[in-house]
Amino acid sequence: MELTLYELYQKMLAHMGPTNWWPADCKEQIMIEAVLIQNTTEANATRASRLIREATAYDFENIVQLDTKILEDLVRPAGFMKNKSRAIQGLAKWYLDHDADPQVICETYGSDLRTVLLSLHGVGPETADVLLTYIFDQPQFVADKYARTLFGLLGVEGLGDYQTLAKRLHRLPEPFTFADAQEFHGLIDEFGKAHFRPMEKFESSFLAGDRLRLEKSES
């Protein structure tokens, strides 16, 4: 069956149910975990996140004032501890400098917000898109490895790296809302965990045999 992007989302939601992504107690936790998850496993990022929660309660004031070496030890399970610690403290300070208010930040930067996020240390394209989706409530698409793998299996060619798909699909088209964008990312990642290990499992999934059609308005 040929599916539009929104039809794919609706089919996944109907079969899998809501994932309620990103599971977190506060936006600060999501921001920290968006940095921690870079180049590591979910389990490692979760371990580091729990250590940070125990030490700081995800309070950005506490994190900014925390001794660098202490934060590095907390981040250690997620790897790249020096770079990620610097990124977390820089992101926390930037957020506090804007009154820790996503609405104020969106009004201040408008359509330039993604560029501003990318200018922060340790914030790459995927992290920026996660922040736009889950912190700033925008219908952004996260073109991560799971998404590229799924779209490839559904017949979309030439996806390449993160930037390749992100250029084709950066904002989700109507009728997607930001809440749909959050859920769609969660569905894609949960589907990948269930059906890409090993890849042959995809052939027995509810999406086997489907094709995805990306309209011009979606690219």
Over the stretch 106-161, which tens digit does the pLDDT of each residue have?
Answer: 999 999 999 999 999 999 999 999 999 999 999 999 999 999 999 999 999 988 89
Domains of the chain by residue range: 2-20+141-218, 27-134
Rounded-to-integer distance, Cα 174 and Cα 195, Å: 28
- pLDDT for 137 equals 97
DSSP state of 199: G
Count of helix runs (H) and strand runs (E) in the chain: 12, 2
Q: Which two tokens stand for residue 203?
A: 């052939």
Across the chain, mean pLDDT equals 95
Mean pLDDT of 95-114: 97
Rounded-to-integer distance, Cα 219 and Cα 168, Å: 4
- pLDDT for 214 equals 86
SS3 203: helix
Q: Which two tokens stand for residue 193?
A: 């965990």
| pTM (2 d.p.) | 0.94
Q: How many CB atoms lie within 10 A of CB 63?
A: 23
The CATH number corresponding to 27-134 among 3.30.930.10, 1.10.645.10, 3.30.2350.10, 1.10.340.30 equals 1.10.340.30
DSSP state of 173: P
Q: Say yes or no to pLDDT of 218 above 60.
A: no
The residues pairing with 140 across neighbouring beta strands, listed in sequence order, are 171
